[in-house]
Structure 1
Amino acid sequence: MYPPKPDSGYPPAMAPPPTTGIPISSTNQFYAQPGPATFHVHSQAPVPWSTGLCHCFDDCSNCCISCFCPCITFGRIAEIVDKGSSSCGASGALYALIFCVTACSCLYSCFYRTKLRAQYSLRGSPCTDCLVHCFCEPCALCQEYRELKRRGFDMTVGWHANMERQGQAATLPPAIHGDMSR
């Protein structure tokens, strides 16, 4: 309807990126130099898992739970990986239901391994995640559980209690000494 402005503040070959809802900081400009638009993706180099896949006996109680009732271990992992948006009980029940109906709950749990790897930049690939869960489900669940535990999560209390524990020191009100009268 209106002709474009001759000088819109951008070089002629560049236009602002589409609005995505993700803020762009002043240190991460999308047009650092004249020429085609470049977008800087800050990704961390993949790091190794804190324990190996077959180190299940480092935590014997979790090893037993993962072997005989993997839905409990999976529910705990899913609640932490989903950052509290799903509960341990609901995730564990869905895992058990998928196992009872299809006997392939590994196809569901492998997606959580991929999410966990993405959150903490752990080495691996989606194909590897699927293969690990299909051929060694209890070991994969134990490894994920240990990884979250070593990152400071108390796996038995869930996401919200972990966040309360982490923020407790920072959110304590200041101590009041004496009367507060004017």
Structure 2
Amino acid sequence: MTSTVIVTQPQTFVVQTSNQWSTGICDCCEDLSSCCFGFWCFWCFACKTAKELGECLCLPLLDFFGLIPPITLSMRATMRQRYGIQGTICNDCIYSVFCGPCVWCQMSREKAIRGAPITIINAGL
């Protein structure tokens, strides 16, 4: 009686992290479906994105109450901190005030790119 042993060696991989946003503020074509969703139903898209980022579903609706959208600003700053992205609170403020939908689309793309879980398997070498 013979038995076949199949051995697969784990492949080496390098995880690269960047201190920059993966896509630019106006790179909507990188994820056209999210861009269209954000354009046609912005508040639904913002609430969905907030939920995906682990925040309260209705949190973006609080942006109605300020000249500077506090939730968009804080979510962008939090995402920068979470992923080690360079930037300033001043830039976050400017983008949040003048490019709110673009900010939410950028955060959605960043979550999709960086938020994918990485599974590391220890082969017990």
Residue identity opposite 1:62 in structure 2? S
* Counterpart contact for 1:107–1:134, Cα < 8 Å: no
Residue 51 of structure 1 corresponds to: 23
**Does 2:61 correspond to 1:96?**
yes
Quote the Cα distance in structure 2 between the aligned partners of 1:109 and 1:143: 11
Q: Specify the code of the residue in structure 2 equivalent to 1:47.
A: N
Q: Please give the alpha-carbon distance, in whole angstroms, between the structure 2 residues aligned to 1:67 and 1:145.
A: 13
Q: Does 1:60 align with 2:27?
A: no
Give the direction of change, closer, same or farther, for the CA distance of 1:112–1:152 in structure 2 (3 Å limit): closer
Paired residue for 1:40? none
TM-score, length basis structure 2: 0.67
1:124 aligns with 2:87: yes
- Which whole-Å CA distance do the structure 2 matches of 1:107 and 1:119 have between them? 18
Structure 1 equivalent of residue 49 of structure 2: 77
Name the amino acid aligned to 1:146.
R
- Partner of 1:145: helix, strand, or coil? helix
Q: Deviation of residue 95 (structure 1)?
A: 2.3
TM-score, structure 1 length as denominator? 0.48
Structure 1 CA distance, aligned partners of 2:81 and 2:59? 23
Superposition deviation, residue 97 in structure 1 = 5.3
Query: Identity of aligned pairs, percent?
Result: 32
Q: Which runs of 5+ in 2 are unaligned?
A: 1-17
Measured in 2, the distance between the counterparts of 1:109 and 1:116 equals 11
Distance 1:147 1:103, change over 3 A: same
**What do you get for the CA RMSD once the two structures are aligned?**
2.9
* Higher RCO (C-alpha 8 Å, min separation 6): 2
Query: How does 1:95-114 map onto structure 2 within 5 Å?
Result: 95-96=60-61, 98-99=63-64, 102=65, 104=67, 106-114=69-77
Give the C-alpha shift of residue 130 in structure 1. Answer: 1.1
- Residues in 2 aligned to 1:122 and 1:98: alpha-carbon distance in whole angstroms: 23
Give the distance between the partners of 1:144 and 1:135, measured in 2 at CA.
15
- Determine if contact 1:54/1:139 at 8 Å carries over to the other structure: yes
